[in-house]
Amino acid sequence: MFLLLAYSPATHAQPASLDTAALTAALQQHWQQSDLPGFAVAVVHPDGVVYEQGFGYANTARRTPYTAATVQCVGSVSKTLLGVALLQAMAAGKLSLDQPVNELLPFPVHNPYSLRQPITLRHLATMTAGLTDDQRFYNAHAYAKGTHSPLTNEEYLRRTLSPSGKWYSRRRFLPHAPGTYYAYSNEAAALAAVALEQATGQSYALFTQQHILLPLGIKDSGWAYTDVDSARLATLYDGHGRVVAPYTTITYPDGGLLTSVHSLARYLHSILTPTVGGAPLSAALRDSLLRPQFSATRPPLHLDPAEPNQGLFWAHRRNGTIGHTGGDSGLTSFLFFDPVTRVGKIFLTNTELQNGPRSLAQFKAIWQLLDQLPASPNTR
């Protein structure tokens, strides 16, 4: 049974001892010198959210301010909720991370190059299932124009990954046994959500609302445009400042969460401090979520040097931080924390960070400024 516990807003009061005026002024100056339409940031300590602020515009034409309460899609930061949800279902006895995923799925999925080795939920959660996104196909088929998709996540995956599916191709898979080769895959995450739905009897959207978001008092967020207040939605812009028309992520569990920096900060605080009211995981389950899954002596092949290990849909970066990035048309997001200092940082903007040095330098300067806040006593 999952209990909906009240979240205490007092843990998110900004400590009076922290002088944030200088930080806000510096961030405002960086926005003015940047090409970001708007952005918001937050800093999270074990004892609460110590800073959150928005800058620039959620809509440049109307000059609508971008605030910490502005809502937009956060891309693949959404995947972090999937790891939490899997462990909640496991704790309830609904599934096992090491069971073959075909025991749960409503259609079969096999790596055609390794038919004797079943794909497990743990493989999906660590991107070692042998699935690989055909990026051109994914971009053409996994998104729908407008605010509603005519296709469900389950049907998209049935068409794409089931041998009888109309879009099936061996190119969706890698010639490596599950568990032996790392390859980032949005479809792997979306498939884990279908397995979760079959195990729990609830849609992924409803499950995460009832067992993660609402217990934390997060009411501004959801997986569909109808779940959020349209007046709080940011307009998205491409790297040239042009408006990105509304679109829907069909495989929404992998990157379709609509939320705000304010709510992401609440969520991250519950991961840093799982004793707060409404926290979705116990301390033991939180540790299972974040624990490195790859052996130091026998890691899977093809690991990204920037992210040499994985939790369950939470990445371990080379610099020691844990979290996830998100990027899609008109959006960029970062959510990470340092397990040593136990300080987390969040960045969300309504545009794409370009590959050029100017855009990257702007983000790095903003991200580093967040380190100016002194550590609270509980982080030392």
Q: What is the pLDDT along the chain (380 residues), one digit of tens a residue?
A: 222 222 223 333 343 345 799 999 999 999 999 999 999 999 999 999 999 999 999 999 999 999 999 999 999 999 999 999 999 999 999 999 999 999 999 999 999 999 999 999 999 999 999 999 999 999 999 999 999 999 999 999 999 999 999 999 999 999 999 999 999 999 999 999 999 999 999 999 999 999 999 999 999 999 999 999 999 999 999 988 999 999 999 999 999 999 999 999 999 999 999 999 999 999 999 999 999 999 989 999 999 999 999 999 999 999 999 999 999 999 999 999 999 999 999 999 999 987 655 678 889 999 999 998 876 655 54
pLDDT at position 19 = 73
Question: In the chain, what are the domains?
Answer: 9-379 (3.40.710.10)
Three-class SS of residue 286?
helix
The answer to whether 327 and 249 have CB atoms below 8 angstroms apart is no
Backbone angles phi, psi at 90, to 5 degrees: -65, -45
Decide: 51 and 345 in contact? Cβ < 8 Å.
no
Confidence (pLDDT) at 13: 36
pLDDT of residue 361: 86
What gap in Å lies between CA 328 and CA 325, rounded to an integer? 10
- ∠220-225-230 over CA atoms, to 5°? 65
Tens digits of residue pLDDT in 295-314: 989 999 999 999 999 999 99
> In sequence order, what DSSP letters do the residues of 133-184 get, joined into one string?
--HHHHHHHSEEESS--SS-HHHHHHHHHSTTSTT--GGGB-SS-TTSB---
Which tokens go with 158?
């049935």
Q: In the prediction, which pLDDT does 10 show?
A: 30
- C-alpha 253/C-alpha 242 separation (Å) is 27
Which residues lie below 8 Å from residue 140, measured CB to CB, with a gap of 6+?
none
Query: What is the pLDDT at residue 375?
Result: 66
> Which residues, in sequence order, are CB contacts of 275 under 8 Å at separation 6+?
283
